[in-house]
Amino acid sequence: MGEWSWPSEAQLNGIRQTVSEMAGRGIEDVRVVVSPYRICPLGAHIDHQGGTVSAMTINKGILLGFVPSGDTQVILRSGQFKGEARFRVDEVQCPRKNANDASEIEIDEDCDWGSYARGALYALQSRQNSLVQGIIGYIIGPEGMDSSGLSSSAAVGVAYLMALETANNLAVSPEENIEYDRLIENEFWGLRNGILDQSAILLSSYGCLLCMNCKTKEHKLIHPPKLGENHETEWQQAYKILLAFSGLKHNLTVNPGYNRRVAECQEAAAVLLHASGDGAAEPLLSNVEPEAYQTHKHILEPNLAKRAEHYFSENMRVSKGFKAWASGRFEDFGTLISESGLSSIQNYECDPSKGSWRIWSTVQWCRI
């Protein structure tokens, strides 16, 4: 994505000034959380099954300026949505939607945008954290990029978590915040997704590819090879990443198709595990041995067969992709991304008309 030019000092100073005026406090008291968006070159739609994924953050994302409120009150304003969100940290938060409810719900973001902050409070409360301090904050993201397939919801959730934790002097590790954001998505919003998004936001490092095993939670950063004395400049010139937005947005929390496909993956896992004599295992495709899949895949119904084929072929692409990245074979890496995108459309059957699209190099593409 080129040099890391975000956030600029002008952006940070503007947010500090806004919060200072909201709270009647000095600019020097304002803290700013920087929570970047992410891309997933390889590993699409397999994190919820415990697969291994790749990710990296980009130089766009969420900025949340805040100060402790001095009491239990939370007061929030947005640079993108109307109104003001107000609640208290001593209010008990309840989930918005059951993960097993496949019905579509309507959410007016102009009225309900503050619910992600409530979700962060819910996650912290659910693990018996004692919060006595609210925040006064102002949150803003890049214009037109919310709900565009770059994990804006995870970036917002992580930002609110870190602000509330800082205001209440809670020492929380990145791994713990990955779990807290999972609670926001899975329990508060009822979305049955995995941990790819928040892991990328919290664990990535500039210029590296994050490798995350979503079953074991083991992770590592894979650096591109050193090409010469000026290796940092040279590897930046060796490839380009272009993000092209289709112009259509989708909010996964109101789309029943996402949870339905997750359920189909689990149903496929249950069939395969039962056929291989391991029916007591948790129905996740990561619990199915590749050999068992090859032996029993013929018994799967067509839709379930497609979901399983995407999972096992995508895991293989991820493994090949890490080797290609580490050895500097970026063209091979791009080819794998193209194959991933095609499988996402044909086997996972996500809607190719929605969300963002990623172009790798000058000829390779796939869907985020």
Q: Do 45 and 310 form a contact (C-beta atoms < 8 A)?
A: yes
Which residues are the active-site residues? 197
Inter-residue long-range contacts of 313-319, CB under 8 Å, 24+ positions, other chains counted? 313/339, 313/343, 313/347, 314/42, 314/43, 314/44, 314/45, 314/46, 314/51, 314/340, 314/343, 315/46, 315/51, 315/52, 317/42, 318/42, 318/43, 318/46, 318/51, 318/52, 318/53, 318/54, 319/52
Q: Which residues contact 363 (CB under 8 A, 6 or more apart)?
A: 334
Burial degree of 121 (CB within 10 A; 0-12, 13-18, 19+):
buried
CB 271 within 8 A of CB 313: no
